[in-house]
Structure 1
Amino acid sequence: MSYHILSIDAYTCQLSCERGQLSCISDSGRQSIPLEDVGAIIVSSFKATLTSNLIIEAAKRRIGFILCDSHKPAALILPADRATDTATLRSLATMPAHLKKRLWDKTLSAKCGNQAELATAWNPLHPKIEEICAVATSRRPNREADTARLFWSIFADTFADANFRRGRKEEGYNSLLNYAYAILLSSILQKLYALGLDPAFGIFHQAREHAAPLAYDLMEPFRPAFDANVARWIRRGLEQDESPDSISEITREYRRHIISTLDAETFCRGKTTTIRASLEAVCRSFRQAVLSHQSGPYEPWTISTIKWAGS
């Protein structure tokens, strides 16, 4: 079986199987691809119909479906032999503490480094730049919290005001950030499910009801990519003399702006690609690390080459 992840997001479409070919009919016409080239199918269409024959033929080839509601995974259709007791699930569930620590250390280093890179791109002359760069590369116990504190302080001085506080329940620009992170979470959940990684088994975040610890873990280094595009939105609004309240509204234009983050050009694993593809590449590398019981294959993403980070 191939491991290509096929994403279908046409507003309305009809999916079927004919002679081993997945057929998709939408407003763009008819397209087809051999099922043998597909590893998983993500359906984000608002109105999509699937034939039972397609589901059965996909199951024979051990292909899973991820059905999304507003881009967030809502249901899984898995082959019977993939639903339970897979090697990946066993490896996740029994991962030793020392391996979790090494994987989390790599994740945390990438996140803190990304925040320092982005803060420097935003405001290279800010008096806290030297400190955030030093903290981000340190081994101090509170590195994540200290880097975040400096990062949001630089963000406030550059785009907001001294009263800005980052928090999910805070007001102002926090609404823009909350929406951006929701898009990021949904996107990484899609990739995890498609690759057979159960998000309930994390390496740092704790499991709780209706939570997805592994998604919260792996999305951390990508947060600054979305912070960069939120800041870009704020800067554009300020240049147009819009009020902070107006800028903070979650409009249709803002939703399109943030979703476009997934298609931003970046550099990952030696080649130019997109954030969307980088999400998949990181999840694949994590899966390889889990199955090999080694941290080496895991390669978190870094922000250094995202083109609009400082604009």
Structure 2
Amino acid sequence: MTTLFIDRREALIEAEAGTLTIRSGDGGLWRTPLAPLERVVLRGPARISTGAIAAIAGAGGGLIVLSGRRSEPAGTLLGRPHADAAIRLGQFRLALDAEARRRIAVLIVRHKLVGQARLLRAALAQRPDRRLPLKRGLDALAESLARLHAAETWSQAQLSGLEGSGAAAYFEAYATLFPPSLGFVRRNRRPPRDPVNAVLSLAYTLGHFEAVREAHLAGLDPAVGFLHALAPGRDSLACDLVEPLRPVLDRLVWRLFAEEVLRKAHFTRDGEACLLGKAGRLAFYAAWEEAFLPARRLLRRGLRPLVRAARAAAQGVVEQTTDAAGPAS
């Protein structure tokens, strides 16, 4: 197990001798070794000791804290940072180079559109009764991919517009895979207003955390992106990285409802917001780790060429800086 989900009221998390101990409010006690853990997902109300935080960090693990009834991310611990600052220097140079930024942004959009088309083709094979809307979505995605080939002179806004129109056509088709009783007709958030959107939001939140953490571990700055522009408080590179992964997460959500692992009874309402209850969250957590494995591999594989490009972009500056610094005394 590489991910530990802790979702128990009044839980107390402590560390001792390379082990995390979790004590629940009702007297339950669990122990899990730290060594195999890559990340801990903690949903409050709970308490975690400074010793446990230090132990997770010392083991190179990550921590995300989800708070409130809507499981909003409240804080993160990303793990041991990469030691080579030249990677970030090269990333900044790429981000400031309009042509390099455009090329990387085009790749991100292309991978996302291809992934969305792959999911709709798989859905068409399983749901021939939805042939018309699925075929319409596939045609729209094919048109977007064809237009992307002519994107050599496009601006960032035009690329974002193409990605947005593709997403709208995709979700129009994707929504038809769910029973009308769930009320899912389009993507919405803040708050999600139906069960499908509630689970999509949770999946995207966890996926975003994975992207932030993997970028950090690879030596990149999660805030400096290529498709997503700089914005205060936004991890733009993580937003970039998670875009091609969304179809993998969408497939998980579709499967959970199609197999009735998640049902309408797992959800409650809080005003306009639709909330996933504890039983539903536990079912989601149980499916998450296996389902996200291919997405995690894609994420790490996708980071490698970006790290290589950043190293190459930094090479000249690093040599100049080294020469200017002179020999160490």
Settle same-fold status: TM greater than 0.5: yes
**Does the 8 A contact of 1:41 with 1:194 survive in 2?**
no
Between Structure 1 and Structure 2, the one with more helix by share is 2
**Does the 8 A contact of 2:21 with 2:32 survive in 1?**
yes
The structure-2 alpha-carbon separation of the partners of 1:211 and 1:274, relative to structure 1 and needing over 3 Å to count, comes to same
Counterpart for residue 14 of structure 1:
13
Confirm or deny that 1:73 pairs with 2:76: no
**Does the 8 A contact of 2:140 with 2:169 survive in 1?**
no
Shift of 1:160: 3.9
CA distance in 2, matches of 1:158, 1:55: 40
Confirm or deny that 1:33 pairs with 2:59: no
Which of 1 and 2 has greater Rg?
2
Which amino acid letter does the alignment assign opposite residue 116 of structure 2?
K
The counterpart of 2:250, out of the listed 202, 217, 223, is 223
**Does the 8 A contact of 2:178 with 2:257 survive in 1?**
no
CA distance in 2, matches of 1:88, 1:259: 38
Counterpart for residue 204 of structure 1:
227
Counterpart for residue 194 of structure 2:
175
Shift of 1:49: 2.4
Shift of 1:55: 4.1
TM-score (norm 2): 0.60
CA distance in 1, matches of 2:163, 2:34: 48
Aligned residues with identical type, % of pairs: 11
CA distance in 1, matches of 2:206, 2:114: 22
Deviation larger for 68-77 or 141-150: 141-150
Counterpart for residue 304 of structure 1:
none
Q: Note the residue ranges of structure 2 that are not aligned, 5 or more in a row.
A: 95-99, 148-161, 311-329
Structure 1 runs, 4 residues or longer, greater than 6 Å off: none
Which amino acid letter does the alignment assign opposite residue 246 of structure 2?
E
TM-score (norm 1): 0.62
The structure-2 alpha-carbon separation of the partners of 1:132 and 1:59, relative to structure 1 and needing over 3 Å to count, comes to closer
Shift of 1:182: 1.5
User: How many correspondences in the alignment?
Assistant: 267
Shift of 1:24: 1.6
Shift of 1:136: 3.5
Q: CA RMSD in A?
A: 4.5
Deviation larger for 86-95 or 189-198: 86-95
The structure-2 alpha-carbon separation of the partners of 1:224 and 1:236, relative to structure 1 and needing over 3 Å to count, comes to same
Counterpart for residue 260 of structure 1:
283
Counterpart for residue 304 of structure 2:
288
The structure-2 alpha-carbon separation of the partners of 1:146 and 1:191, relative to structure 1 and needing over 3 Å to count, comes to closer
Shift of 1:281: 3.0
CA distances 1:237-287 after superposition (whole Å, capped 9, x unpaired): 7xx9xxxx9xx983655x74477355448xxxxxxx722334433333333
Matches within 5 A, 1:1-311: 5-11=2-8, 12-18=11-17, 21-27=18-24, 29-35=29-35, 37-44=36-43, 46-52=45-51, 54-56=52-54, 58-60=56-58, 62-69=60-67, 71-77=71-77, 82=81, 86=85, 89-90=88-89, 92-95=91-94, 96-97=100-101, 98-119=103-124, 121-124=126-129, 126-137=131-142, 139-141=145-147, 142=162, 145=165, 148-149=168-169, 152=172, 155-156=175-176, 159-160=179-180, 166=186, 168=188, 175-197=194-216, 198-217=221-240, 218=242, 219-221=245-247, 222-227=249-254, 229=256, 250=274, 252=276, 256-257=279-280, 260-261=283-284, 263-264=286-287, 274-293=290-309
CA distance in 2, matches of 1:84, 1:277: 26
Which amino acid letter does the alignment assign opposite residue 33 of structure 2?
I
